[in-house]
C-alpha cells in the first residue's frame, strides 16, 4: 500500500480536530459499535464545551440545566479552587442519560482523546443507559430534559411568588433527605416525566377554576375521631412503613403548602433519576471502558488510527484502568473503571477460552463463543451487586489478589484476615464484595414507622442498625431538624438493633415559623 | 448525530448560584476577608483572591454512617496474608478501618476565590461617611421618576383607568353609540306593541342600533392612556476628603505602613462607594505639599515635623477650591503624634478655629510601634487634640499599633450610624 493510501484511511492526523473530524470519528465508531459489536443506542448529540462549562456541569450534578440553589455555587467554587491550583484534572467527558444522548467533550482534548471519549460515552454509556433494566425501569430518557426545564421554571416561579428564602429553605430540607427520597422497589406505574409537567399544570388550572372563597366560611362537619382508627388501619392508610421519606412528606405532611409539595416531588424525581447510576457504577464504567477498548483497537486494526495516536490512547486507557493495591498511597477503594473493565475482559476470556475451573463456575456462559451476545445480556439484566455476585471469577480474584478483612472493634488483638484468594475464600470474597455494592446494605436503612395522629402528631422514624453502624451524630441532628421542619411537628428517630431494642434516640422539633 | 458547539454560550451560568452561596456564607466570608487583610502586602491588599472559609454552616447534611461498628471489606493486592491472620490495628485509630486516607477530602475548610468586586463589596459592606448634610444640586448622576402627564403608550401596570374611561365616554357620546338602556327600552317596546307594522319598523331600528353599538366599541385602544413618568434629577451631596499624612523622619517604616494601610482603606472605600467624592492627598514633614495618590502611597520623603503646615495647606485648598457652603468636608490625619514644641499652639488654633468649624468630620489616627499600647497615648499632638475635643467638635481620635487593628479602627470610624453623632 502506498503512503498516500495509508493516509487516506486515517480519520485524522496529529492532535488537532475540527467538526468534520468529529463527524468522521463518530461515523467510524458508529460503524464498529452497531455493526460489529451489535450495540443499541439512543441518537447521539455531541456538545463541545470549555473547561468552565465543564465545571458548571460538575456542580449541577452533570445536568445541562438545573434549578438554582446555593449548594451548586458551593460545589462550583470547590471544584474551581481545586482545578485552578492544578490539584485535580477535569473529567474528559460527561454523558447524560437522555434521548438524544448528550455527551460533553472538552475543547482541550486531543483528537485521540475525542475518539476515545466518543467511543466511551456516546456508544458505551449510551448503550448501557438504553438497555440496562434499572435505567429502563426508573428513568425516562426522553422526558428528563423537559422535566428539568419545567423544574427550573417552576422553582424560579415559586421564588417570585413566595420569596427566595422560603424556597431555599424548602430545597435545603429536601436535599438533606434526598438520599432517602427514592423508591427502592418498583411501583405499578412507570415514571413519565412529561406527564408530570402536564399533571402539575392541570392541577393548578383546576384549582384556579374551582376556587371559591365561600368554601372557607362553610362550617366543617363533625370529623371522625382519630382515636377510633386503630394502629393497623392508620398505618395502612398512610402507607407505612415507608422508606421513601420525601414521598411520605409530599403526600402526608399536614402543614406544607402545595408548592412545597411540588418542590419535594421535583427533588424526589431527580433523586430517583440518579438512583440507577448509583447502583451501576462498576457495570456502567466497565461497559463503557470495554466498548471504547474494543472500538479503539478495531480502528487501529482497520488503519483508521495511526500508531502514534494508538499509543496515546493506550496511555490514557492504562491510566483509567489503573488499580492501586491496598497498601499504595494512591489507594482509595476500588476503581470502578478498573474492576468493571477487568470483569468484562474476564467474561470475554471465559466465553472464548474457558478453563476447567471456568466451566465448573460458569456453566451457562463458558465456551459459548458469542462474546458480545453474552455481554449484552449481562449489561441488560444486572446491577453492580448481582453482577459481582454472579461473575467475579476465581481467576480474577487471584489476579487482583483480593482478600477480606473483618474488623470487629470488640476483638482486642486486631483485624482478622477472614478470606484470601484461595479455594476456601472465593465465594466469601465474592459475596462480601457484592455486598459492598449493594446500596441497600451500605446506606443506612431508615423508615417512617408511625405517626401519632391522635396525640401530638409526632413522627416516629427508625434506623435499623446493622453491624453496629450507628448514624453520625452531628449530621443526623441537622437532617432530623429539616425533617421536623417539613413535617411541622416533633420527630423521633430511634436506632434499633436486630432484636427491636432501641439503642439510641434523636429528637427534633420544628423551628417555629420557618416556612 | 448532531454536533453542538456550546463554547460560545454565555459565560457565568453558575454566577447566580455563586451569589446565593456568597449571601449564605456572608458572615464567614466577611471574617475571612478581614483576616486575609492582615497578612497581605499593601499593594495587593484589595485585589480579591483566595480566602479560606470554615465549612460549617454551609454543610449539606444527610443521614450518614458514623464512626465505629464492625468493618468488613475486600481489598486488592494481598501479598503475605493467609486466612486467619490477625493484623494489629495501627496505633491511634480506635478500631477504624485499616486504610481510609483519601476519603472525606478537605471537608473542614474551604478555599474560595473572590473577584475584586466581590471582595470590595464584602469588605465595605457597612461603612458610610458620617453627617453628609450639605446637599446641593450639582452635576447630578441620580434620577428619580416623577409623574409627568399621560401618554398613549406604556406598560399595562401604568394604565390610567380614570383617564381612559373618560376618553372612552367622550368618544361614545360624540359618535352617538346607543346606550344599553336605549336598547333595552326599544326591546320592551317591541314586546309591548301589537301593531305589526310598527313592530317591524322598531325591529329594524333595533337592528341598526345593535350594529352601531358593535361598530363603536365600548373601549377602543385609542382611548387607552398611560401614566407617564419622567426622570428628575435628584440632588447629590458633594464631598471632599482630605488625607493628611505625616511622613517625617520620626515615622518608622512600620508606622508608615500602618498609616498607608489606613489611607488605602479610606481611598478604596470612598472611590467605591461615592461617585462624587473628591480626595485631596496632603503629606507633610516640616512643610506640606499636595500630591497625587501614587506619590502619596509610594513616594519616599523625610524631614522634620510641623503639623500646622498640613493644616494650613488644607485651609488654603478649601479656600481656593471647596466652598464650605457647598461641600461636605472631611479630613483624616495620620501621624505618630510628634510635633515640634513651638508648633503646638499654632496647630491648636488652626484646627479649633479654622479647620474644625468647616468640617463635617475630622478623624485623627495615631500610629505607634508594634510594641506600643493602643489604649493610651502621651504624645504632644494627642494631648493637644484631646483638649480641643472637649469642646464638642466633630473630632475623633484613635490609636493604632498593629496591622490587625487597622480595620477595626477604620470600621469604627466610618460605620453606619443611625442619626446619632460620631462617637468621640
User: Are residue B220 and residue B252 in the same domain, yes or no?
Assistant: no
- The C-alpha atoms of residue B52 and residue B407 are separated, in whole angstroms, by 19
Asked if residues B154 and B299 have their Cβ atoms less than 8 Å apart, the reply is no
CB within 8 A of A417, min separation 6: which ones? A403, A404, A405, A406, B81, B82, B83, B84, B85, B86, B87
pLDDT digits (tens, 9 = 90+) for A292-349: 999 999 999 998 999 999 999 999 999 889 999 888 888 888 999 999 999 999 999 9
**Are B208 and B307 contained in the same domain?**
no
Decide if B301 is inside a domain.
yes
pLDDT at A414 over 50: yes
Q: Which of B228, B256, B291 is the last residue of a domain?
A: B228
Are residues A468 and B83, on separate chains, in Cβ contact within 8 Å?
Answer: no
Asked whether residue A90 is domain-assigned, the answer is yes
Cα–Cα distance, A443 to A463 (Å, whole number): 11
Q: How far apart are CA A264 and CA A178, in angstroms?
A: 9
Whether B172 is covered by a domain: the verdict is yes
Judge if B259 and B355 occupy the same domain: yes
Asked if B240 and B218 sit in the same domain, the reply is no
Q: What is the pLDDT of residue B251?
A: 79
Triad B94, B99, B104: Cα angle to 5°: 90
Contact residues, chain B, for A467 at CB < 8 Å:
69-72
Which of A176, A413, A436 lies closest to B86 in CB terms? Answer: A413
Asked whether the beta carbons of residue B1 and residue A45 sit closer than 8 angstroms, the reply is: yes
- Top-confidence residue, A171 or B351: A171
> Are A69 and B59 within 8 A, CB to CB?
no
Q: What's the CA angle centered on B254, arms B253 and B256, to 5 degrees?
A: 65
Burial B295-317 (b: 16+ CB within 10 A, else e): ebbeeebeebbbbbbbbbbbeee
A94 and A25 belong to one structural domain = yes
* Domain end marker among A391, A416, A440: A440
Q: Which three cell numbers stand for residue A49?
A: 464545551
**Interchain contact, B78 vs A403, CB within 8 Å:** yes
A123 found inside a domain: yes
A457 in a domain, yes or no?
no
Q: Pick the more confident residue, A410 or A215.
A: A410
Concatenate the DSSP letters of all residues of B363-403 into one string: EEEEE--TTS-TT----HHHHHHHHHHTTT-SEEEEEE-SH
User: Could you give the count of Cα atoms lying within 13 Å of A95 in the half-sphere of its Cβ?
Assistant: 27
Q: Is B62 a member of any domain?
A: no
Residue B10 in domain = no
> Which segment of A70-84, A94-108, A463-477 scores lowest on mean pLDDT?
A70-84
The per-residue pLDDT of chain A, averaged, comes to 86
Contacts for A162-171 with beta carbons within 8 Å, 24 or more apart? A162/A257, A162/A259, A164/B20, A166/A515, A167/A263, A168/A69, A168/A70, A168/B20, A169/A485, A169/A514, A169/A515, A170/A260, A170/A263, A170/A264, A170/A486, A170/A515, A171/A67, A171/A69, A171/A263, A171/A267
Give the residue on B whose Cα is nearest the Cα of A424: B83
**Residue B63 within a domain:** no
Q: Chain A within 8 Å of B97 (Cβ-Cβ)? A: yes
Span A15-44, average pLDDT = 91
Task: Please give the C-alpha separations between residue B306 and each of B187, B301, B303, in angstroms, as whole numbers.
Answer: 103, 14, 10
User: Is residue A390 situated within a structural domain?
Assistant: yes
Q: Are the Cβ atoms of B71 and A107 closer than 8 angstroms?
A: no
B241 and B295, same domain (yes or no): yes
Same domain as A299, residue A340: no
Say whether both B254 and B386 belong to one domain. yes
**A294 belongs to a structural domain:** yes
Grid look-up 497615648 returns: B377
Angle (nearest 5°) at CA B332 between B330 and B337: 145
Residue B240: give its domain's CATH number.
3.40.50.410
Residue B263 maps to a domain: yes
* Beta-carbon separation of B76 and A402 below 8 A: yes
Give yes or no: residues A293 and A349 share one domain.
no
Domain boundary among B228, B244, B274: B228
The predicted structure's pLDDT at residue B108: 52
Residues A418 and A299 in one domain: no
Q: How many domains does chain A have?
A: 2
Residue B410 lies inside a defined structural domain of this protein: yes
Same-domain check for residues A75 and A128: yes
- pLDDT, tens digit, 9 for 90 and up, residues A46-66: 999 888 888 888 777 777 788
Same domain, B287 and B410: yes
| Cβ within 8 Å of residue A476, ≥6 positions away | A493, A506, B61, B63, B64
Among A402, A421, A440, give the residue marking a domain's end. A440
Residues B280 and B194 in one domain: no
> Is residue A51 assigned to a domain?
yes
Q: Is B105 an 8 Å CB contact of chain A?
A: no
Task: Give residues with Cβ within 8 angstroms of A40, minimum separation 6.
Answer: A127, A130, A131
Chain A within 8 Å of B78 (Cβ-Cβ)?
yes
Q: What is the pLDDT of residue A77?
A: 78
In a domain, A169, yes or no: no
B243 and B380 within one domain? yes
Q: What is the pLDDT of residues B18-74, one digit of tens each?
A: 888 888 877 777 777 767 666 665 556 556 566 676 655 577 888 888 877 788 888
Domain end among A415, A440, A465: A440
The CA distance from A194 to A190, in Å, is: 12
Whether B17 and A59 lie within 8 Å, measured CB to CB: yes
A409 and A342 in a single domain? The answer is: yes
Instruction: Verify whether the Cβ–Cβ distance B70 to A467 is below 8 Å.
Output: yes
Domain region containing A108: 3-132+280-312
Cβ of B63 and A180 within 8 Å? yes
Task: Establish if B287 belongs to a structural domain.
Answer: yes
Quick one: pLDDT band at residue A430, thresholds 50, 70, 90?
very high
Note the pLDDT tens digit of each residue in A240-268.
Answer: 788 889 999 998 888 888 899 999 999 99
Q: Are residues A61 and A105 in the same domain?
A: yes
Q: Are residues A332 and A354 in the same domain?
A: yes
Whether A11 and A83 map to the same domain: the answer is: yes
Listed as ranges, residues in chain B with pLDDT below 50 are: 93-107, 135-140, 419-424
Q: Are residues A296 and A349 in the same domain?
A: no
Q: Quick check: A48 and B4 CB within 8 A?
A: yes
Full residue range of the structural domain in which residue B315 is found = 236-414
pLDDT computed for residue A398 by the predictor: 92
B251 and B365 both lie in a single domain = yes
- Cis check: omega of the bond before A100, within 30 degrees of 0: yes
- Collect all residues of chain A within an 8 Å Cβ-Cβ radius of residue B107: none
Nearest to A131 by CA among A86, A180, A97, A84: A97
Are B156 and B266 in a shared domain? no
The per-residue pLDDT for A190 is 54
CB A128 within 8 A of CB A170: no
Q: What is the rounded distance in angstroms from the CA atom of residue B332 to the CA atom of residue B366?
A: 11
Q: Indicate if A298 and A336 belong to the same structural domain.
A: no
Residues A16 and A127 in one domain: yes
| Distance between A289 CA and the closest CA of chain B, angstroms | 20
Distance CA A13, CA A111 (A): 8
Q: pLDDT value at position A1?
A: 54
Beta carbons within 10 angstroms of residue A28's beta carbon: 20
Cross-chain Cβ contact A470/B9 below 8 Å: no
Cβ of B103 under 8 Å from any chain A Cβ?
A: yes
B17 contact residues in A (CB cutoff 8 A): 59-60, 68-70, 72-73, 76
**What is the distance in angstroms between the Cα of B18 and the nearest Cα belonging to chain A?**
4
For residue B104, the distance in angstroms to the closest alpha carbon of chain A comes to: 11
Of A330, A407, A420, nearest to B71 by CB-CB distance is A407
* Same structural domain, B192 and B313: no
**How many interface pairs between A and B have CB atoms less than 8 angstroms apart?**
255
Alpha-carbon span B20 to A70, nearest angstrom: 5
Contacts of B350-356 spanning 24+ positions with Cβ under 8 A: B350/B308, B350/B311, B350/B312, B350/B315, B351/B311, B351/B385, B351/B388, B352/B388, B352/B391, B352/B393, B354/B311, B354/B315, B355/B311, B355/B314, B355/B315, B355/B331, B356/B388, B356/B393, B356/B394, B356/B395
* pLDDT higher than threshold 70 for residue A224: no
Residue A257 is assigned to a structural domain of this protein: no
Amino acid at each position: 500500500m502506498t503512503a498516500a493510501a495509508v493516509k487516506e484511511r486515517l480519520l485524522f492526523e496529529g492532535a488537532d480536530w475540527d467538526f468534520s473530524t468529529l463527524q468522521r470519528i463518530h461515523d467510524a465508531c458508529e460503524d464498529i459499535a452497531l455493526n460489529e459489536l451489535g450495540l443499541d443506542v439512543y441518537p447521539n448529540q455531541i456538545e463541545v464545551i470549555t473547561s468552565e462549562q465543564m465545571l458548571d456541569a460538575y456542580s449541577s450534578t452533570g445536568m445541562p440545566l438545573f434549578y438554582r440553589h446555593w449548594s451548586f455555587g458551593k460545589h462550583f467554587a470547590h471544584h474551581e479552587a481545586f482545578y485552578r491550583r492544578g490539584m485535580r484534572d477535569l473529567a474528559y467527558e460527561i454523558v447524560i442519560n437522555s434521548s438524544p444522548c448528550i455527551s460533553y467533550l472538552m475543547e482541550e482534548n486531543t483528537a485521540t482523546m475525542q475518539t476515545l471519549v466518543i467511543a466511551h460515552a456516546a456508544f458505551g454509556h449510551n448503550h448501557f443507559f438504553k438497555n440496562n433494566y434499572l435505567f429502563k425501569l426508573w428513568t425516562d430518557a426522553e422526558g428528563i430534559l423537559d422535566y428539568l426545564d419545567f423544574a427550573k421554571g417552576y422553582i424560579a416561579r415559586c421564588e417570585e411568588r413566595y420569596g427566595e428564602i422560603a424556597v431555599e429553605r424548602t430545597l435545603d430540607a429536601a436535599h438533606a433527605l434526598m438520599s432517602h427520597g427514592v423508591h427502592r422497589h418498583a411501583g405499578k406505574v412507570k415514571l413519565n416525566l412529561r406527564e408530570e409537567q402536564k399533571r402539575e399544570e392541570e392541577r393548578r388550572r383546576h384549582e384556579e377554576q374551582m376556587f371559591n372563597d365561600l368554601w372557607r366560611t362553610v362550617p366543617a362537619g363533625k370529623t371522625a375521631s382519630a382515636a377510633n382508627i386503630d394502629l393497623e388501619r392508620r398505618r395502612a392508610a398512610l402507607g407505612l412503613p415507608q422508606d421513601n421519606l420525601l414521598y411520605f412528606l409530599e403526600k402526608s405532611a399536614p402543614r406544607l403548602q402545595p408548592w412545597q409539595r411540588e418542590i419535594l416531588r421535583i427533588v424526589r424525581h431527580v433523586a430517583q433519576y440518579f438512583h440507577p447510576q448509583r447502583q451501576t457504577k462498576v457495570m456502567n464504567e466497565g461497559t463503557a471502558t470495554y466498548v471504547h477498548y474494543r472500538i479503539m483497537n478495531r480502528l487501529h486494526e482497520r488503519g483508521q488510527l495511526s500508531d502514534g495516536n494508538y499509543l496515546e490512547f493506550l496511555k490514557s486507557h492504562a491510566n483509567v484502568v489503573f488499580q492501586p493495591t491496598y497498601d499504595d498511597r494512591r489507594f482509595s477503594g476500588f476503581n470502578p473503571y478498573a474492576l468493571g473493565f477487568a470483569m468484562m475482559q474476564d467474561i470475554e476470556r471465559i466465553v472464548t477460552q474457558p478453563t476447567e475451573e471456568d466451566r465448573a463456575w460458569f456453566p451457562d456462559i463458558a465456551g459459548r463463543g458469542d462474546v458480545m451476545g453474552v455481554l449484552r445480556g449481562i449489561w441488560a439484566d444486572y446491577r453492580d451487586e448481582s453482577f459481582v455476585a454472579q461473575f467475579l471469577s476465581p481467576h480474577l480474584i487471584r489476579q487482583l489478589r483480593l482478600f477480606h478483612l473483618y474488623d470487629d472493634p470488640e476483638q482486642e488483638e486486631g483485624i482478622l484476615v477472614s478470606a484470601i484468594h484461595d479455594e476456601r475464600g472465593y465465594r466469601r470474597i465474592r459475596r462480601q464484595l457484592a455486598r459492598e455494592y449493594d446500596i441497600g446494605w451500605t446506606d443506612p436503612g431508615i423508615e417512617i414507622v408511625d405517626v401519632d395522629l391522635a396525640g401530638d402528631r409526632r413522627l416516629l422514624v427508625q434506623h435499623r442498625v446493622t453491624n453496629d453502624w450507628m448514624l453520625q451524630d452531628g449530621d443526623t441532628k441537622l437532617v432530623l431538624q429539616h425533617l421536623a421542619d417539613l413535617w411541622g411537628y416533633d420527630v423521633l428517630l430511634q436506632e434499633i438493633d436486630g432484636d427491636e431494642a432501641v439503642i439510641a434516640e434523636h429528637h427534633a422539633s420544628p423551628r417555629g415559623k420557618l416556612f | 448525530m448532531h454536533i453542538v458547539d456550546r463554547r460560545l454560550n454565555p459565560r457565568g451560568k453558575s454566577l447566580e448560584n455563586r451569589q446565593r452561596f456568597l449571601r449564605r456564607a456572608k458572615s464567614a466570608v466577611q471574617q475571612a476577608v478581614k483576616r486575609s487583610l492582615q497578612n497581605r502586602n499593601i499593594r495587593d491588599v484589595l485585589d480579591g483572591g483566595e480566602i479560606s472559609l470554615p465549612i460549617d454552616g454551609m454543610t449539606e447534611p444527610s443521614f450518614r454512617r458514623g464512626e465505629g461498628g464492625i468493618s468488613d471489606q475486600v481489598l486488592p493486592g494481598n501479598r503475605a496474608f493467609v486466612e486467619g491472620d490477625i493484623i494489629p490495628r495501627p496505633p491511634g485509630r480506635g478500631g477504624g478501618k485499616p486504610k481510609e486516607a483519601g476519603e472525606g477530602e478537605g471537608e473542614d475548610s474551604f478555599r474560595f476565590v473572590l473577584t475584586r468586586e466581590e471582595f470590595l463589596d464584602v469588605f465595605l459592606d457597612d461603612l458610610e461617611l458620617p453627617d453628609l448634610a450639605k446637599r446641593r444640586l450639582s452635576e447630578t448622576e441620580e434620577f428619580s421618576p416623577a409623574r409627568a402627564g399621560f401618554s398613549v403608550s406604556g406598560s399595562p401596570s401604568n394604565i390610567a383607568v380614570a383617564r381612559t374611561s373618560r376618553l372612552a365616554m367622550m368618544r361614545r357620546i360624540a359618535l352617538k353609540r346607543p346606550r344599553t338602556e336605549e336598547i333595552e327600552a326599544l326591546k320592551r317596546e317591541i314586546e309591548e306593541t301589537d301593531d305589526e307594522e310598527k313592530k317591524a319598523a322598531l325591529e329594524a331600528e333595533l337592528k341598526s342600533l345593535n350594529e352601531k353599538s358593535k361598530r363603536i366599541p365600548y373601549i377602543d385602544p385609542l382611548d387607552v392612556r398611560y401614566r407617564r413618568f419622567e426622570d428628575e434629577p435628584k440632588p447629590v451631596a458633594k464631598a471632599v476628603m482630605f488625607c493628611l499624612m505625616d511622613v517625617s523622619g520620626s515615622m518608622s517604616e512600620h508606622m508608615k505602613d500602618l498609616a498607608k494601610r489606613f489611607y488605602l482603606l479610606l481611598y478604596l472605600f470612598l472611590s467605591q462607594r461615592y461617585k462624587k467624592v473628591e480626595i485631596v492627598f496632603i503629606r507633610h514633614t516640616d512643610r506640606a505639599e499636595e500630591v497625587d495618590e501614587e506619590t502619596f502611597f509610594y513616594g519616599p520623603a523625610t524631614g522634620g515635623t510641623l503639623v500646622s503646615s498640613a493644616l494650613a495647606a488644607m485651609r488654603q485648598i478649601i479656600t481656593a477650591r471647596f466652598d464650605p457652603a457647598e461641600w461636605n468636608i472631611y479630613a483624616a490625619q495620620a501621624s505618630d503624634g510628634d510635633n515640634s514644641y513651638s508648633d503646638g499652639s499654632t496647630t491648636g488654633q488652626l484646627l479649633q478655629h479654622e479647620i474644625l468649624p468647616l468640617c463635617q468630620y475630622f478623624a485623627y489616627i495615631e500610629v505607634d510601634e508594634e510594641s506600643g499600647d493602643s489604649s493610651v497615648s502621651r504624645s504632644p499632638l494627642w494631648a493637644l487634640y484631646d483638649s480641643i475635643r472637649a469642646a464638642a467638635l466633630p473630632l475623633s481620635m484613635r490609636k493604632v499599633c498593629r496591622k490587625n487593628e487597622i480595620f477595626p479602627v477604620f470600621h469604627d470610624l466610618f460605620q453606619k450610624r443611625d442619626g446619632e453623632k460620631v462617637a468621640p
